[in-house]
Amino acid sequence: MPECEICGKKVDTLFEINLDGSQMLVCEKDARGRDVLNTFGREEKEKKKEKEVEKSAEAPPVRGGVQSELVENYGEEIRKAREALSLPLKVLAERINEKESTLTRIEKQEMLPSEKTRQKLEKELGIKLLSKASDTKTFIASKKSEPVTLWDLAKKEDEKGE
């Protein structure tokens, strides 16, 4: 594992900076406030994150042989249940051991809750966030959140019929 040339810390990502005319490979902390010429090791990290996002969006969980999916308005359901219990977001975050910012993003539906987070929210708030998957094929939003067109639906129905 490479080391920062300033502090000696072992890191996954190094930043090439110009420090008083010398080029050095440093950690993120030591690169702050300096002109970064190049980055090494970040691509692998970003690819890994993208794969995790794709993996989490692949297929809804299967429970007892029946496929389940997250309810459409999960953020609103969580917010309503939390407010009905007069729980501030900060308190809920502490109770289920999650970051307040994560819960904010989930309530705004900017982020899907992980399986563990979903279970903790259901238990703490006394709600169900999964429903049985409908007969029609559902499209899971990608990171780019491209809109689904009628053409996409027609192609899926056509593939299903063959």
Give tens-digit pLDDT for 2-52: 889 889 988 888 889 988 888 899 998 888 888 888 888 855 556 556 655
Contact 142, 57 (CB under 8 A): yes
159-to-147, 153, 156, 162 alpha-carbon distances in Å: 20, 10, 5, 5
Q: Which two tokens stand for residue 142?
A: 């990608």
Does position 111 have pLDDT exceeding 70, yes or no? yes
- CA nearest to 156, candidates 131, 148, 145: 148
**pLDDT attached to residue 141:** 46
**For residue 36, what are the β-bridge partners?**
17
Does position 128 have pLDDT exceeding 50, yes or no? yes
Residue 75 CA to residue 129 CA, distance in Å, equals 9
Does position 82 have pLDDT exceeding 70, yes or no? yes
End-to-end CA distance of the chain: 52
Q: Which two tokens stand for residue 4?
A: 């920062």
Q: What domains are defined for the chain? A: 1-58 (no CATH), 70-133 (1.10.260.40)
**pLDDT attached to residue 162:** 58
Higher pLDDT, 56 or 14: 14
